Amino acid sequence: MYTCGPTIYDYAHIGNFRTFIFEDILRRYLKFKGYSVTQVMNLTDVDDRTVKASRKEGIKLREYTERYAKAFFEDLDALNIERAEYYPRATEHIKEMTALVKKLIDNGYAYETAGSTYYDISKFTGYGKLSGVAASQQGIRVTADEYGKDEARDFALWKTWDEDDGEVFWETEVGKGRPGWHLECSAMSMKYLGETFDIHAGGVDLIFPHHENEIAQSEAATGKPFVKYWLHAEHLIVEGRKMSKSLGNFYTLRDLIQKGYDPTAIRYLLISAHYRDQLNFTFKGLDQASNTATRLNEFHTRLQEAQNSTTHNPTITTLTHKLLKNFDEAMDQDLNTPAALAALFEAVRDINKELDTGKYSRQDIQQATDTLNKVNTVLGILKPQAKPTTLEQEILQLIHAREDARKRKDWTTADKIRTQLQQKGIILEDTPQGVKWRIKR
């Protein structure tokens, strides 16, 4: 699976992360279903935007992009996005890219003008098959990496050096210059995944021209189908418009963390709509997502703290089976995450009711926990549980020893342990759900 990655000229915004989290869910669900996944995500570290931004700051391109690559990986971790197998960078694949340009020239799909090389879209009969944008106007060239959605143009494969590029250039067989943006994804996907591979994903804005151009480049070079399945995530929007840097209506993950939001809540919000529906970002929505994510994590904690009574509760077994079945059905329907989350919250509500009765066995709790963890291998919205500290482990051991003593009706030992804990500043409370402990204030 190839997923178009970030252009590392700035921090990624949460619109970008909507797409990256959708791809993470896709990856995790494929694994859940037993597929083995090899995912490649490129880092665009040379294009119009990165060159311009680094020049503006007066530092080397690599030094500039490195800062945002580092930030990107930190954000991936915060949002619990699994790592892809490969993160190739454009600047490290100039050889593969120029080889592809040469191949396209040899095959008659590319031409050189004033030192730059352009793709001749009139030569590729399949042009427009993904996006429906027809190659009607012929011979009109565009040098910029990004251009209008309705304009099929001969696009730059290789851009000859000009003054605005400063130190950013490579001396190659196709001239002194730098690659056009579309080229890297064809060259790097085929390098790591082969000439034909299964899945290619990105945001809807990439369908045209970027993915259309990738198909044109790859298929004209190899004569083989490039990709079997294309998946595109709809946009995160703000007040009816796409969240984007150029519109200035964006939030980065860091902005939201600074406002006190938990990344788990942000991840939850971003998967709460189906990936092919637009998702409107509001702070009210984020607040609701925070509450819901908290409720789920509280349920998780409740399971972990549940003290076993001995009565088996068959309803819990039924509920966990129902959850797995509904989850699977929802996700099989083109990754219907809102339906999958609805199934999860129905199960949380119903299992909570069973826990309220106080009748359940250790196995019931284990089964509920395992099911929740299983579903979470795909959704990734449970906060990692902090490992108990040595003190906590010691306290729990003493509590268990006291309970054993009580079961043996050995009240002297039980009382001795309670006093021992009190001396450590630990107060025990016997509740219907079992023994709880807290630190004396």
Residue 185: contacted member of ligand AMP, Zn ion, none (CB under 5 to 8 Å, by partner type)? Zn ion
Of positions 243, 266, 323, 335, contacts ligand AMP by CB under 6 A? 243
CB of 45 to ligand AMP, least distance (A): 11
Q: Which of 93, 134, 99 is nearest to 117 (CA)?
A: 99
Is beta strand 40-41 parallel, antiparallel or unpaired with respect to 2-3? parallel
Q: Are strands 40-41 and 141-142 parallel, antiparallel or unpaired?
A: unpaired
Interface stretch with Zn ion, choices 104-112, 185-193, 353-361, 391-399 (CB under 5 A): 185-193
**Four-residue CA torsion sign, 14, 378, 388, 435:** positive
Helix H or strand E segment including 422 = helix 411-423
Q: List the one residue from 154, 205, 212, 364 that touches ligand AMP (CB under 6 A).
A: 205
Q: Per CB under 6 A, which of residues 89..128 are in contact with ligand AMP?
A: none
Least distance in Å: CB of 65 to ligand AMP?
12
Give the rounded distance of the alpha carbon of 162 from its chain centre: 37
Tell me the residue type at 152: A
398 binds ligand AMP (CB under 6 A): no
Contact call for residue 211 and ligand AMP (CB under 6 A) = no
CA 70 to chain centroid, in Å, comes to: 16
Residue number with CB closer to Zn ion (185 or 340) = 185
Among 132, 108, 100, smallest CA distance to 226 is for: 100
Q: Which residue is nearest to ligand AMP (CB)?
A: 203
At a CB cut-off of 8 Å and minimum separation 6, what does 141 contact?
113, 118, 153, 154, 155, 156
* Residue 202 binds ligand AMP (CB under 6 A): yes
| Per-residue x/- track, 149-188, ligand AMP (CB under 6 A) | ----------------------------------------
Task: For the segment 133-152, give every residue that binds ligand AMP (CB under 6 A).
Answer: none
- C-alpha to C-alpha distance for 367 and 103, rounded to whole angstroms: 57
Min dist CB 47 to ligand AMP, Å, is 9
Minimum distance of Zn ion from residue 206's CB (angstroms) = 6
The window from 2-10, 62-70, 99-107, 187-195 that contacts ligand AMP (CB under 6 A) reads: 2-10
Q: How far is the CB of 184 from Zn ion (least distance, A)?
A: 7
Give yes or no for residue 371 binding ligand AMP (CB under 6 A).
no
Residue positions counted in the chain: 441
Candidate list 206, 216, 348, 399; residue touching ligand AMP; CB under 6 A: 206
User: Does residue 185 bind Zn ion (CB under 5 A)?
Assistant: yes
Of residues 362, 358, 265, 351, the one with CA closest to residue 308: 362
Q: Is 188 in the site for Zn ion (CB under 5 A)?
A: no
With contact defined as beta carbons under 8 Å apart, do 339 and 330 qualify?
yes
Element (H, E) at 355: helix 337-356
CA distance 417 to 352: 32
**242 contact partners, CB below 8 Å, separation of at least 6:** 15, 205, 235, 236
Beta-bridge partners for 41: 3
Q: How far apart are CA 81 and CA 365, in angstroms?
A: 28
Query: Of the candidates 28, 178, 235, 267, which one interacts with ligand AMP according to CB under 6 A?
Result: 235
Q: Which of 1, 3, 4, 261 binds Zn ion (CB under 5 A)?
A: 4
| Among 200, 211, 242, 402, interactor with ligand AMP by CB under 6 A | 242
Rounded Cα–Cα distance for residues 367 and 346 (Å): 16
Q: Which of 11, 18, 179, 421 binds ligand AMP (CB under 6 A)?
A: 18
Judged by CB under 6 A, the number of residues near ligand AMP is 17
Q: Which residue stretch of 1-9, 51-59, 100-108, 238-246 sits at the interface with Zn ion (rule: CB under 5 A)? A: 1-9
* 40: nearest Cα among 83, 86, 7: 86
Cα–chain center distance at 148? 28
Name the residues that contact ligand AMP, by CB under 6 A: 4, 6-7, 15-16, 18-19, 202-203, 205-206, 233, 235-236, 242-244
The residues of the shown chain that bind Zn ion, judged by CB under 5 A, are 4, 185
